[in-house]
Amino acid sequence: MTKSAIERKEMIVSFISSANKLIDEEGIENVTARKIAHATGYNVATAYKYFKNLNHILFFACMKYYNLYIQDLPNYISEDNSSLENYLGIWKCFSIHAFNNPKIFKSIFLDQGHLSVTDTMKEYYEIFPNELKSLPTSLSTMLDKDYINERDLALLEVCIKDGYINQEDVKELSENIIIFFEGLLMKVTNHVDGYSKKRALEIILKFIYNTLHYYNLKSSNVLSPFLTL
């Protein structure tokens, strides 16, 4: 690594560390570029020599939580499981980490605007290669996608190949689950209706299970006429 590259990494680490400290102390929703720059000992103009905007800084700061999720994923899948079981397991892992840090995961997956999630992650891991862990191909395919809906569809493709879900139903199935999850995440984030993390996890897993069960029955042509309205 060249001297300039080392200096650049040191500056980026400084801004990320300041952002993480502010997130822990004030909450991610109260962190501004000016506060991060001030805490680092520089001005905003200097920060933007290394980052595109505030979301870019926050995304890098949030990667420590995302990495915990990635490292935990293999604990929720198995080669002995069906693709449906692994799909549910991946959603369980994602939901546990998302509901434990709802504002962080909202920032990563819902608030990035024009930032490419995969491109930004690639940039991050180029700077911090030691944080990049090897994963099974089935997970890598999913994680290479930019948006949560693309990641979900990548997982469901395996379920289609295994005959559990009809191709024509997969988009509707995925949209139902993601819309429901995003609504639940917002409730937990904003402390609406007293939704605890534990209760939210129970609700989303039951919803995903029931949704998969419905579309699996539909693929087997065993639904009654009433249920196919």
Q: Which helix (H) or strand (E) segment is 209 a member of?
A: helix 197-219
Question: 113-117, 147-151, 162-166 — which one is most confidently predicted on average?
Answer: 162-166
Using CA atoms, how far apart are residues 57 and 36, in angstroms rounded to an integer? 9
User: What pLDDT, on a 0 to 100 scale, did the predictor assign at position 84?
Assistant: 93
Query: Rounded to whole angstroms, what are the CA distances from 184 to 122, 151, 177, 214?
Result: 29, 19, 11, 21
- 108-128: string of b/e by CB count within 10 Å (b at 16+)? bbeebeebebeebbeebeeeb
Higher pLDDT, 102 or 141: 102
User: What pLDDT, on a 0 to 100 scale, did the predictor assign at position 77?
Assistant: 93
Query: Where along the chain do its domains lie?
Result: 1-50, 61-213
Q: Which helix (H) or strand (E) segment is 214 a member of?
A: helix 197-219
What is the average pLDDT across 144-169?
92
Using CA atoms, how far apart are residues 218 and 225, in angstroms rounded to an integer? 11
**What is the per-residue pLDDT across 79-112, written as a single tens digit (0 to 9) for each?**
899 999 999 999 999 999 999 999 999 888 877 6
Q: Contacts for 40-43 with beta carbons within 8 Å, 24 or more apart?
A: 40/14, 40/15, 41/14
Lowest-confidence pick of 2-11, 14-23, 39-48, 178-187: 2-11
What is the average pLDDT across 44-61?
94
In CATH, which superfamily holds the domain spanning 1-50? Homeodomain-like (1.10.10.60)
Does position 226 have pLDDT exceeding 50, yes or no? no
Does position 126 have pLDDT exceeding 90, yes or no? no
User: What tokens were used for 81?
Assistant: 């499981």
